[in-house]
């Protein structure tokens, strides 16, 4: 299993639109992908679960993946979340 | 029926159109719906989920193709919610409990909405509407209710909250305005309105409760005014306003890249007042040269404890970078008893505007002041930052503030954090500061006249009091004299003199200020083009003549009337 822990840094967190981008990206990987935050672990390929985590700015999250493409999955998904920062409009 | 309402205008512009109530009530359907066998109810759900999903993905793509990327992205998120196996499971488990597919879908969506509504973050709370909207959409598919016919006419969307599917069903350019009952500015509707410059009013609960579907309405996204059932004259007036605003905007965009200099070449910096880092976008759009007033109150509001250094540093750095080397003036905390914050421990006061507020608080609260100063000093590395102190009435206070800055620097050095020395200025907003500007100018690196408070304190007029608001006038001779004296003192000591406050955004006043020697005018960004146009239309000799004449009147009204006639 590969995993990485970091802090959500974009102003609006992972609400509807960022969550949909994230879940679409996660769905492309064969590996099982999960998000752990606030003591809970959820399926990163479910937009309802991802939105329901309430990942606001400043939340510490761990993205973990298990499967054939786990390394790329974690690397790409972490990069994606960090890139939301650049789109901060508000 | 003819009625007038008022809300909070958030996106300027004139909207003329038919009201479209944008949240649907499915209670009637729910009452008359007769469920069949459980197996059949499950099949209905599966078919509805599949149909809605397809529809939403197709619509999302169509919107994107039309260049409506915001709407497209929202509908795509909705499509993914519908496609999520979690959605199906939730609904199916509710069917087991109720035997009714329609109720199951609406309940499942409501459960999910409730989860979001209980969240602390405003953005997440605003997502409850997405789930309700998705639920209703699936429910409509189950009963085979058709998509609502909306036609091609311009509409003003109206609702306590606006369900995104309404926005998505409209054609490009069809939304003439948005009227939101809720006060949230993070609703999808407002985000979309911002992206497409659609006039929007929030907090219009009263209007939303009273206005009927299909009524004709007028709205002004600047003043927050809403008129339903308008007379022909009112309609004509609004249409004329809308035409003028559109022509004005086109004209102003042309002005954006032209320099703010008088006809004979005297330069004045036109900067923006901002409240949050996100305002920089509008500031840049209107051609602002830097930030003349960065109000930092947003960092302190709506929370239970003081904001930390890192959080403030991130915000200041963001703005300093976006200002791209242009001056960014950060004003330290300006809160008092009128906006009680539990952690500030300001007791209720009879006179909060003459009370324990702004710098008076900062100087007593090291835990508040030092992190703010440290954050601002560190942001100095990312642009041209300056720090300004509000509510000063004496040299001593400014010197005390400077000592704090020295202490902040010492702490930063000790903590091995890099920073840059920044100019320290005074927000001249009390008559005391204006009268003693000559002394203050010896110590300060710059002045920025805070005209709103200066007028209020000089004239003893609270302009939010409608009984006396007509007495509020920045052309009152007492105000003009104080302003002139302040600018004169700055010139004499060779420091920059600016103004932030509404007077700076008044083109009539701008000319007088130019003649007095002002270096910088800072205002809400949309006012910049109008002021720039006025600046570019005069010579310094003309400005000086206008000032001479303006100072000869004995009351503010006469000054105003005179200047009105000169444009």
Averaged pLDDT in 10-residue chunks for chain B of 567 residues? 84 89 78 87 94 90 81 88 93 90 93 88 84 91 76 87 73 85 71 77 87 90 91 91 82 87 96 86 89 90 83 94 96 84 81 92 96 98 97 98 98 96 98 98 98 95 78 95 98 97 93 98 89 95 96 95 86
Predicted pLDDT at A90: 39
List the one residue out of B493, B494, B487 whose CA is nearest residue B512: B487
Whether residue A51 and residue B116 make contact (CB cut-off 8 A), yes or no, is yes
- List the single best residue of A8, A12, A15, A26 to mutate versus B (max B Cβ within 10 A): A15
CA B155 to CA B214: how far, in whole Å?
9
A16, A49, A90: residue with CB nearest B278: A90
CA B19 to centroid of chain Cα atoms: 25
Predicted pLDDT at B292: 97
- Evaluate whether B562 touches B549 at the Cβ level (below 8 Å): yes
Residue in this structure with the two tokens 């642009």, named with its chain if needed? B383
Q: Which residues of B are catalytic?
A: 188, 500
Residue B269 host element (H or E): strand B269-274
Asked if CATH classification 3.30.1340.10 holds for the domain at A2-87, the reply, yes or no, is yes
CA B503 to CA B518: how far, in whole Å?
12
Predicted pLDDT at B506: 92
SS3 B354: helix
For residue B350, give every residue at least 6 positions away whose Cβ sits within 8 Å of its Cβ, in sequence order, or none.
none
Give this complex's ipTM. Answer: 0.89
Identify the closest residue of chain B to A20 by CA–CA distance: B77
pTM of the model: 0.60
B77, B84, B119: residue with CB nearest A17: B77
* Interface A-B: count of C-beta contacts within 8 A: 61
Measured CA distances, A34 to A3, A20, A74, B23 (Å): 9, 15, 10, 35
Predicted pLDDT at B92: 93
Is residue B435 within 8 angstroms of chain A, CB to CB? no
Give the pair of three-digit tokens for residue B338: 């009128």
CA A48 to CA B115: how far, in whole Å?
11
Whether residue A16 and residue B77 make contact (CB cut-off 8 A), yes or no, is yes
A20, A23, A54: residue with CB nearest B121: A54
Phi, psi of B78 (to 5 degrees): -65, -45
Tally of residues, chain B: 567
B84 neighbourhood in chain A, CB within 8 Å: 46-49
Whether residue B81 and residue A47 make contact (CB cut-off 8 A), yes or no, is yes
Identify the closest residue of chain A to B188 by CA–CA distance: A16
Rounded to 5 degrees, what angle do the CA atoms B153, B154, B156 make? 130
Predicted pLDDT at A89: 45
Is residue B161 within 8 angstroms of chain A, CB to CB? no
Measured CA distances, B49 to B245, B281, B356 (Å): 44, 39, 59
Q: How would you classify the pairing of strands B424-428 and B446-450?
A: parallel
Maximum C-alpha span of chain B: 89
CA B66 to CA A39: how far, in whole Å?
42
Q: What is the DSSP letter of B493?
A: T
Residues pairing with B226 in the sheet? B5, B219
Walk me through the domains of chain B, giving residue ranges and CATH numbers. Answer: 1-20+149-234 (3.50.30.10), 25-147 (1.10.274.10), 251-451+496-564 (3.20.20.60)
Give the pair of three-digit tokens for residue B433: 């500061």
Is residue B321 within 8 angstroms of chain A, CB to CB? no
- Evaluate whether B300 touches B306 at the Cβ level (below 8 Å): yes
The string of pLDDT tens digits covering residues A33-85 is: 999 998 899 999 999 999 999 899 889 999 999 999 999 999 999 999 988 88
């Amino acid at each position: 299993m590969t995993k990485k822990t970091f802090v959500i840094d974009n102003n609006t967190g992972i609400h509807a639109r960022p969550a949909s981008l994230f879940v679409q990206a996660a769905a492309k990987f064969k590996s099982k992908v999960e998000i752990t935050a606030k003591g809970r672990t959820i399926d990163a390929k479910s937009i309802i679960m991802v939105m329901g985590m309430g990942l606001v700015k400043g939340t510490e999250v761990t993205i973990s993946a298990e499967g054939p493409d786990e390394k790329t999955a974690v690397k790409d998904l972490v990069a994606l979340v960090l890139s939301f920062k650049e789109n901060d409009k508000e | 029926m003819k009625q007038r309402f008022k809300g909070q205008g958030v996106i300027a512009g004139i909207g003329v159109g038919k009201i479209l109530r944008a949240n649907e009530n499915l209670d009637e359907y729910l009452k008359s719906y007769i469920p069949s066998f459980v197996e059949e109810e499950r099949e209905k759900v599966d078919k509805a989920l599949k149909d809605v999903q397809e529809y939403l993905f197709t619509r999302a793509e169509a919107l994107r193709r039309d260049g409506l990327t915001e709407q497209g992205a929202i509908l795509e998120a909705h499509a993914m919610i519908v496609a999520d196996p979690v959605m199906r499971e939730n609904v199916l488990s509710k069917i087991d409990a109720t035997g009714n597919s329609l109720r199951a879908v609406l309940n499942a969506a409501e459960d999910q909405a409730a989860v979001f509504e209980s969240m602390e973050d405003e953005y997440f709370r605003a997502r409850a509407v997405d789930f309700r909207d998705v639920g209703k959409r699936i429910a409509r598919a189950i009963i085979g209710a058709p998509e609502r016919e909306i036609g091609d006419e311009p509409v003003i969307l109206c609702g306590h909250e606006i369900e995104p599917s309404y926005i998505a069903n409209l054609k490009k350019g069809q939304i003439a305005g948005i009227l939101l009952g809720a006060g949230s500015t993070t609703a999808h509707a407002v985000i979309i309105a911002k992206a497409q410059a659609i006039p929007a009013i929030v907090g219009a609960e009263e209007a939303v409760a009273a206005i009927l579907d299909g009524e004709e309405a007028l709205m002004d996204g600047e003043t927050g005014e809403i008129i339903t059932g308008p007379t022909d004259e009112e309609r004509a007036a609004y249409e004329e306003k809308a035409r003028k605003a559109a022509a004005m905007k086109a004209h102003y965009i042309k002005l954006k890249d032209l320099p703010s200099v008088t006809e004979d070449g005297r330069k004045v910096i036109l900067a923006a007042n901002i409240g949050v880092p996100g305002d920089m976008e509008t500031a840049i759009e209107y051609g602002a040269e830097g930030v003349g007033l960065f109000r930092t109150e947003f960092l302190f509001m709506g929370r239970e404890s003081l904001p930390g250094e890192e959080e403030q540093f991130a915000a200041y750095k963001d703005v300093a970078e976006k200002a791209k080397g242009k001056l960014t003036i950060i004003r330290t905390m300006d809160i008092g008893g009128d906006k009680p914050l539990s952690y500030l421990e300001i007791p209720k006061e009879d006179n909060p505007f003459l009370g324990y507020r702004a710098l008076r608080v900062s100087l007593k609260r090291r835990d508040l002041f030092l992190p703010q100063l440290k954050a601002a000093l560190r942001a100095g590395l990312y642009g041209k930052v300056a720090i300004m102190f509000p509510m000063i009435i004496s040299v001593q206070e400014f010197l005390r503030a400077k000592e704090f800055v020295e202490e902040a620097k010492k702490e930063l050095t000790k903590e091995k954090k890099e920073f840059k020395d920044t100019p320290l200025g005074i927000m001249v907003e009390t008559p005391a500061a204006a009268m003693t500007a000559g002394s203050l100018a010896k110590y300060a690196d710059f002045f920025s006249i805070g005209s709103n408070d200066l007028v209020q304190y000089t004239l003893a007029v609270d302009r939010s009091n409608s009984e006396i608001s007509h007495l509020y006038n920045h052309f009152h001779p007492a105000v003009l004299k104080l302003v002139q004296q302040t600018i004169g003192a700055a010139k004499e000591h060779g420091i920059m003199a600016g103004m932030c406050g509404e007077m700076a955004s008044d083109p009539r006043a701008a000319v007088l200020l130019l003649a007095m020697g002002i270096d910088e005018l800072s205002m809400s960004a949309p006012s910049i083009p109008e002021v720039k146009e006025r600046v570019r239309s005069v010579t310094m000799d003309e400005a000086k003549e206008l000032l001479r004449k303006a100072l000869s009147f004995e009351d503010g009204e006469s000054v105003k009337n005179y200047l009105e006639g000169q444009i």
